[in-house]
Amino acid sequence: MSEQCKCGQKALDAETIKKWELDHVLYPWQVQKGLNPLIVDRAEGNYFYDINGKQYLDFTSQFVYSNLGHADKRMVKAISDQVARLETASSPFATEPKAKLAKLIADVTPGDISKTYFSTSGAEANEGAVKLARMSTGREKIISRFVGYHGSTYGAMALSNDYRNWACEPSIPSVTRCLGPYCYRCPFGATYPACDLQCAKHVEDVIRFEGEKRVAGFISEPIVGANGIIVPPDGYWQKIREICDKYGVMLILDEVMTGFGRTGKWFACEHWNVVPDIMTMAKGVTSGYVPLGATSMRPHVAAAFENKQWVHGHTYSGHALGMAAGVAAIEIYKEDNMIENAAKMGEYLIDKVRELQDKHPSVGDVRGKGLFVGMELVKNRKTKEPIHDPWIEGPRTPTAKMKVLGKVMQEGVYCLPGQTSVLMMAPPLTVTKAEIDRAIAAFDVALALSDAEVTE
């Protein structure tokens, strides 16, 4: 780390950085006692570096958002040029970057999705989606899934389900949940395709039981992210679209993690040729360079607000820096063929992870699409007993999963743990075969730690 920052202020040493943070920062999702955070000094490409100069391969794109890698000069220039011209303007004003980004999103989203409300995070985007569904239909109930995550704000957490939402209960009313597709652990005890998509038919039952004229929307991630990278079987989303149309229920898809090339398509729902009524996004829309959330909708949803007020807003809705970053990111996705690269590298990644499955008895299942791959760790392949069950146990350390990730980190590879026994592999869309090989080699060594806990 340099002795002096470019701003002219003297740089802090490692001891001071850590002390000031631990004294004055409340860390998200952490028990505060005993924290010893890694100090990240800089980043470039698919790597970040600690204050001592050690290099780490960013194999989860931080929190699944650094799709374009770090310090892309085109992104830096776009943001710098915008801040020099117009750093921000309040939401009633029109600006060039906002107009461009809204049009670009309309161009890349599926079907006739054509209008967007901007916020600053995925949680805010999902809160906006709930309001859209309720206000446009005049109904109040929202159905979400038991295994899913939509953000940590109060309303978004009400839509989510894992140990993290316990702190928000009782939460907002009129949210009910249903079971989702999880073929490896089918909640209906069935096997695809003989199951005849009972998981989708179950959603129709819940709509009917809740009162079909009272359900405003059904919200879900097209591929479950933090709770296990769970890919639904083919036909599931087509059936859900059909059910929502039958009962006039808004289909809301949370593409916060899966959007902008992550799964080898612009948006994951395109794998099944399904167009939601409302789509939420964040993370990859700017590749994380500036915080930005977006709630996009089809014309029939937007039409409800032609003659009545859209009673919603945020201070930084349409913030000029976020808009400029979004424009630059989408242009880079196109210019560098990033969506195609994600599909190609994703095939290579999942093949290499399946090779690990063949070698390591603690790897129970491997699944994913594009550069969104999950490796589920189990104690026993026959019983599928997980290494860690967060819905029952809540957080605890050190689990075998965390030991594996700790060992991988020592080898210079960062991978996000997620909330279950699944290791989340979601490198930047710019990842190379050589970088994938490096990560796989680190996991190959580290999985011996979870193999040691296998009971059979």
Query: Would you state the pLDDT for residue 67?
Result: 98
Q: Is residue 19 predicted with pLDDT exceeding 70?
A: yes
Q: Which phi-psi region, left, alpha or beta, contains residue 337 (left: φ > 0; alpha: ψ -120 to 50)? A: left
SS3 label, residue 294: strand
CATH architecture of 38-71+338-451: Alpha-Beta Complex (3.90)
Q: Is residue 7 predicted with pLDDT exceeding 90?
A: no
Query: Cα separation of 107 and 85, whole Å?
Result: 26
Query: Would you state the pLDDT for residue 3?
Result: 52
Across the range 81-87, mean pLDDT stands at 98
> 74-83, 167-176, 191-200, 436-445: which has the minimum mean pLDDT?
167-176
Cα 121 to the center of its chain, rounded Å: 11
- 319 with 91: CB under 8 angstroms? no
Condensed to tens digits (0 to 9), the pLDDT of residues 103-137 reads: 999 999 999 999 999 999 999 999 999 999 999 99
Where is pLDDT greater, at 339 or 396? 339
Count the residues in the chain: 456
| Range picked from 33-37, 329-333, 401-405 for highest mean pLDDT | 329-333
Distances (CA, A) of 407 to 95, 159, 449: 48, 34, 9
Mean pLDDT, the chain, rounded, equals 95
Condensed to tens digits (0 to 9), the pLDDT of residues 258-315 reads: 999 999 999 999 999 999 999 999 999 999 999 999 999 999 999 999 999 999 999 9
Residues 198-205: contacts with CB within 8 Å, 24+ apart?
Answer: 199/232, 199/236, 200/235, 200/236, 200/239, 200/240, 200/243, 201/239, 202/178, 203/143, 203/178, 203/240, 203/243, 204/243, 204/246, 204/247
Query: Would you state the pLDDT for residue 10?
Result: 83
- 409 with 36: CB under 8 angstroms? no
Query: Cα separation of 424 and 375, whole Å?
Result: 7
CATH code of 74-335, in short, is 3.40.640.10
Across the range 157-186, mean pLDDT stands at 92
Distances (CA, A) of 120 to 128, 280, 288, 311, 442: 11, 12, 11, 17, 35
Query: Cα separation of 371 and 346, whole Å?
Result: 4
Query: Would you state the pLDDT for residue 417?
Result: 87
Q: Is 396 exposed, middle or buried, given 0-12, 13-18 or 19+ CB atoms closer than 10 A? A: exposed
Q: Is residue 375 predicted with pLDDT exceeding 70?
A: yes
Across the range 197-207, mean pLDDT stands at 97
Where is pLDDT greater, at 456 or 185? 185
Domain range list for the chain: 38-71+338-451, 74-335
Q: Is residue 232 predicted with pLDDT exceeding 50?
A: yes
Query: Would you state the pLDDT for residue 8?
Result: 63
Query: Would you state the pLDDT for residue 1?
Result: 44
SS3 label, residue 10: strand
